[in-house]
């Protein structure tokens, strides 16, 4: 390895990266050995999570010191490092100036060498289930902090009740052209009576959501009744929700056949239990394995982590919320239904889902690259979201990019040349900040080079892994005492065992479509 590698990664992280990203044949052999694979799996996960301090954290966005209220009020965000009020001051670049670091120059889209468009489509759908900034206060959240499929079921019992059919544990759905879809939110006379109380917009300054009346007359009749207000934000989100609705109703039929069809509540709850664990398996065994460059395929096993310090109540952090804002992954144009379309023209447009079907859409998304994580790579129409993210980080007075590198065991970078090999990125950062020590966390995360074989830059990969494992694998449904047929039914357990990838779910729910799609997060 070159001196630049060790200067960037440090000894501890560098050794771990070299050891786990080489010798694929050895790691795959270990994965196949029953006695050893569990120990290796746990070591891999623990080594990732223990990179940063584990929960409960000493600090939240409630204040500057630890108090009983700050330890229990999860409407405020957890934070890893204390405030740094001196980082952004009178001489600092404005939010508008920092936003320009993200702007994609005309005709310059950096495409990913590893990931398909399906990767960001799934990522947004997944994280919008639990990463939710309170639109009235950037220091707070409206999250349940759990991976609970709330994008499908809603966050409250009242919302869940509105989305259920009340028969056979199923969710409400409709048939269009012989295929199953979520029910439409609107009827001929406006919002359907059964969805009259369904939340359809976040109140406050949420620039990702609109009031329903602002959605055009041509699009409004096609909006679906879904668990969260953002559920119709673009065709990809609606595509994912349609898939998981079909899978819920498919599994519910199997559970009803096993338990008897008389107890709608039990069938629904048993099915939901299975669906949540099914999603966690996809997240770890497909999504995270795609993100991480390590050669050992990670997997979910009941009880993993129960004896570890990180096995604590979930609490999403401000840093985790911000590092997941992957607007740079969205290309300016995409292929949908065989046509090139500007992605921004697909906002609030669910028509491709019903017009083209899931098989064609998943296949198309799996055959075209997304963009890559980088500065100078966000489409113009997404720049207001970058500004919002910068302002959120500044409201929390987050510490510098270098401070977070040190917190994760990386050495502080000494200059912009250590941060990026892209001359345009280096110049833009130096013109904006002057010194590497002044670079804020949010732009810094996107400035680092993506290492060969990786999906994300180094610090982002590290911080994603810390929270991804420690927030997903703490789900109570993974407890060995609960991981039984009593919780999931025999049919539910069989479905969980048969699921490792998103493609497994897609291929079970094509509704008679003739195309057998390619379904892949990787190119």
Q: What is the full DSSP assignment across 164-231?
A: B-SSTTPBP-EEETTEEEPPBSEETTEE-GGGTT---S-SSS-TT---GGGS-TTTGGG-B--SSGGG
Higher pLDDT, 435 or 4: 435
Q: What is the mean pLDDT of residues 508-518?
A: 93
Tens of pLDDT, residues 44-92 = 999 999 999 999 999 999 999 999 999 999 999 999 999 999 999 999 9
How much is the pLDDT for 207? 47
Q: What is the full DSSP assignment across 335-373?
A: EETTEEEEGGGGBT--HHHHHHHHHHHHHHHHSSEEE-S
C-alpha 265/C-alpha 283 separation (Å) is 27
**By the 8 A CB rule, do 501 and 507 touch?**
no
User: In this model, does residue 8 exceed pLDDT 90?
Assistant: no
Neighbours of 376 (CB within 10 A): 19
Token pair listed for 88? 């952004």
Q: What is the mean pLDDT of residues 6-15?
A: 88
Distance of CA 497 to the CA centre of its chain: 23
How much is the pLDDT for 201? 63
Tens of pLDDT, residues 326-352 = 999 999 999 999 999 999 999 999 999
CA-to-CA separations, 228 to 17, 90, 272, in angstroms, rounded: 38, 39, 17
Report domain extents, the chain: 52-137+305-355+368-473, 150-292+490-508
In sequence order, what are the beta bridge partners of 171? 164
Q: What is the full DSSP assignment across 389-410?
A: HHHHHHHTT--BHHHHHHHTTP
Average pLDDT in the chain: 95
**By the 8 A CB rule, do 235 and 365 touch?**
no
Strands 333-336 and 59-60: unpaired
User: In this model, does residue 98 exceed pLDDT 70?
Assistant: yes
Hunting for tokens 């990913």 — which residue is that? Answer: 112
Architecture of the 52-137+305-355+368-473 domain:
Orthogonal Bundle (1.10)
User: Which residues, at least 6 apart from 288, have a Cβ–Cβ distance to it below 8 Å?
Assistant: 298, 465, 468, 469
- HSE (side-chain half, CA atoms, 13 Å) at 331: 20
- HSE (side-chain half, CA atoms, 13 Å) at 76: 19
pTM over 0.75: yes
Q: What is the mean pLDDT of residues 502-523?
A: 96
Tens of pLDDT, residues 167-222 = 999 999 999 999 999 999 999 988 999 999 998 764 455 544 555 668 888 999 99
Q: What is the full DSSP assignment across 284-336?
A: IIIIIHHH---SS-----TTTTTTSTT-S----BHHHHHHT--GGGS-SEEEE
How much is the pLDDT for 511? 83
Say which range, 185-189, 255-259, 353-357, has the weakest mean pLDDT.
Answer: 185-189
Q: What is the mean pLDDT of residues 381-402?
A: 98
Tens of pLDDT, residues 103-131 = 999 988 899 999 999 999 999 999 999 99
How much is the pLDDT for 512? 82
Cα dihedral 461, 324, 455, 366 sign: positive
Pick from 384, 324, 391, 275: nearest CA to 132: 324
Strands 179-181 and 339-342: unpaired
Whether the ω angle into residue 197 lies within 30 degrees of 0, i.e. cis, is no
User: In this model, does residue 156 exceed pLDDT 70?
Assistant: yes
How much is the pLDDT for 429? 98
User: In this model, does residue 247 exceed pLDDT 90?
Assistant: yes
Hunting for tokens 């401000």 — which residue is that? Answer: 318
How much is the pLDDT for 2? 59
Sheet strands (E) in 34-153: 59-60, 78-79, 111-116
CA-to-CA separations, 139 to 308, 386, 404, in angstroms, rounded: 29, 17, 19
Neighbours of 211 (CB within 10 A): 9
């Amino acid at each position: 390895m070159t001196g630049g590698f060790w200067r960037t990664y440090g000894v501890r992280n560098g050794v771990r990266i070299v050891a786990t990203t080489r010798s694929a044949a050895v790691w795959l052999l270990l994965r196949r050995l029953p006695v050893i694979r569990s120990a290796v799996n746990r070591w891999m996960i623990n080594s990732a999570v223990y990179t940063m301090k584990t929960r409960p954290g000493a600090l939240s966005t409630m204040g500057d010191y630890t108090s009983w209220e700050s330890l229990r009020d999860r409407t405020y965000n957890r934070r890893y490092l204390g405030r740094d009020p001196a980082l952004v001051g009178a001489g600092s670049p404005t939010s508008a100036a920092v936003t320009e670091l993200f702007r994609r120059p005309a005709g310059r889209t950096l495409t990913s060498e590893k990931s398909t468009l399906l990767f960001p489509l799934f990522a947004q759908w997944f994280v919008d289930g639990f990463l939710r900034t309170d639109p009235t206060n950037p220091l707070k959240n409206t999250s349940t902090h759990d991976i609970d499929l709330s994008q499908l079921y809603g966050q409250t019992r009242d919302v869940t009740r509105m989305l259920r059919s009340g028969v056979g544990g199923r969710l409400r759905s409709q048939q269009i052209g012989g295929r199953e879809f979520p029910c439409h939110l609107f009827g001929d006379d406006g919002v359907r009576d059964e969805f009259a109380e369904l939340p359809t917009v976040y109140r406050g300054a949420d620039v990702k959501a609109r009031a329903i009346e602002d959605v055009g007359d041509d699009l409004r009749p096609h909006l679906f009744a879904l668990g969260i207000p953002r559920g119709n934000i673009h065709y990809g989100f609606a595509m994912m929700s349609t898939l998981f609705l079909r899978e819920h109703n498919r599994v519910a039929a199997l559970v009803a056949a096993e338990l008897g069809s008389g107890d709608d509540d039990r069938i629904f709850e048993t099915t939901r239990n299975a669906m949540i664990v099914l999603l966690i398996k996809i997240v770890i065994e497909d999504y995270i394995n795609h993100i991480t460059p390590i050669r050992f395929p990670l997997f979910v096993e009941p009880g993993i982590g129960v004896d570890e310090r990180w096995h604590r109540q979930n609490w999403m952090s401000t840093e985790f919320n911000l590092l997941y804002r992957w607007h740079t992954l969205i290309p300016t144009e995409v292929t949908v239904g065989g046509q090139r379309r500007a992605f921004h023209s697909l906002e609030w447009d669910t028509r491709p889902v019903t017009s083209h079907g899931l098989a064609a859409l998943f296949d198309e998304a799996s055959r075209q690259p997304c963009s890559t994580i980088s500065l100078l790579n966000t489409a113009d129409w997404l720049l207001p979201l970058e500004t919002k993210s910068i302002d959120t980080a500044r409201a929390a007075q987050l510490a510098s990019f270098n401070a977070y590198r040190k917190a994760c065991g990386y050495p502080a970078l000494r200059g912009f040349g250590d941060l990026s090999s892209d001359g345009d990125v280096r110049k833009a950062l130096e013109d904006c900040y002057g010194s590497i020590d002044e670079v804020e966390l949010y732009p810094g995360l996107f400035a680092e080079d993506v290492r060969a074989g990786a999906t994300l830059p180094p610090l982002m990969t590290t911080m994603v892994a810390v929270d991804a494992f420690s927030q997903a694998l703490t789900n109570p449904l993974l407890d060995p005492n609960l991981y039984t047929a009593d919780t999931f039914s025999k049919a539910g357990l069989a479905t969980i065992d048969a699921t490792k990838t998103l493609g497994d779910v897609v291929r079970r729910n094509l509704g008679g479509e003739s195309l057998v799609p390619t379904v892949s997060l990787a190119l």
